[in-house]
Amino acid sequence: MNQQHSIIQLYAGTRPDGERVYEKVAVRVEPDNRYVALHSPGFVRGLARGDAFELVEGRPGAFSVTERSGNLAVRVYSRVPAAAWDSVLTPQVTQLEGRRDILSDLLLVYSLPLTAGFDSIEAAFDQALSGSPDVRWSYGNVYDERTGAPLNWWCNRASAPPA
């Protein structure tokens, strides 16, 4: 089966002047009008590599996740070149069966399987980045963007390994 890949723009937020901001996300186009994210985005909230989603009609860039892959998106924002953190973080992420999705000037994005465990992920990032005021990390698909409450999509998941 020939699967089509594409780049689409998803809503990432609003600038202080009210202008909407979009991020380009690589996707696999599914035959049922769904998309599958090929990487965890850097600024789009609520989405990780492997998640299936549909676009919301009438709302440019808005989407609704229809199936979670079991991956956690972790974003690292830096005020200094992110490559310095890459050499420290990527080996630790690899040990947790994760992978780096994005490396840009001031941003790193990783996808890690839920099976790695929140405690292990948080310990790895906190330890590697402790003591540096120039860098911070956050989950990209764990908390509701409006309320800050956990999304809890990982609760009651089947024991099958993530995609």
- Residue range 140-157: mean pLDDT, rounded: 90
pLDDT score at 121: 97
Query: Model pTM greater than 0.85?
Result: yes
Strand partners, 152: none
Closest to 24 measured CA to CA, from 38, 10, 35 = 10
- Residues 58 and 79 occupy one common structural domain: no
Q: Is the predicted pLDDT of residue 163 greater than 80, yes or no?
A: no
- In terms of pLDDT, which residue wins out, 139 or 163? 139
Report yes or no on 42 lying in a domain: yes
pLDDT of residue 2: 58
Computed over every residue of the chain, the mean pLDDT equals 93
Separation CA 143–CA 107 (nearest Å) = 20
With pLDDT > 90 as the criterion, what percentage of the chain qualifies? 88
- Residue whose tokens read 């999509």: 153
- Please tell me whether residues 62 and 120 are part of one structural domain: no
pLDDT value, residue 95 = 97
Residue 59 shares a structural domain with residue 80: no
Q: Is 107 found in the same domain as 54?
A: no
Q: Find the domain containing 32 and state its range.
A: 4-67
Q: Decide if pLDDT at 162 tops 70.
A: no
Q: Give one word for 125, left, alpha or beta, with left for phi > 0 and alpha for psi -120 to 50.
A: alpha
* Digit-coded pLDDT (tens) for 53-95: 999 999 999 999 999 999 999 999 999 999 999 999 999 999 9
83 and 46 share one domain: no
Residue 96 is part of a domain; what is its CATH number? 3.30.70.330
List, for residues 108-135, the tens digit of each pLDDT value: 999 999 999 999 999 999 999 998 999 9
Rounded CA-CA distance 111/69 in Å is 10
Same domain for 39 and 57, yes or no, is yes
CA distances from 28 to 4, 100, 123, 127, 158 (A): 6, 19, 32, 35, 24
Torsion of CA 57, 13, 50, 126, to 10 degrees: -160
What would you report as the CA-atom Rg of the chain, rounded to the nearest whole angstrom? Answer: 16
* Last residue within a domain, chosen from 31, 47, 67: 67
Within-domain flag for 59: yes
Whether residue 22 has pLDDT greater than 80:
yes
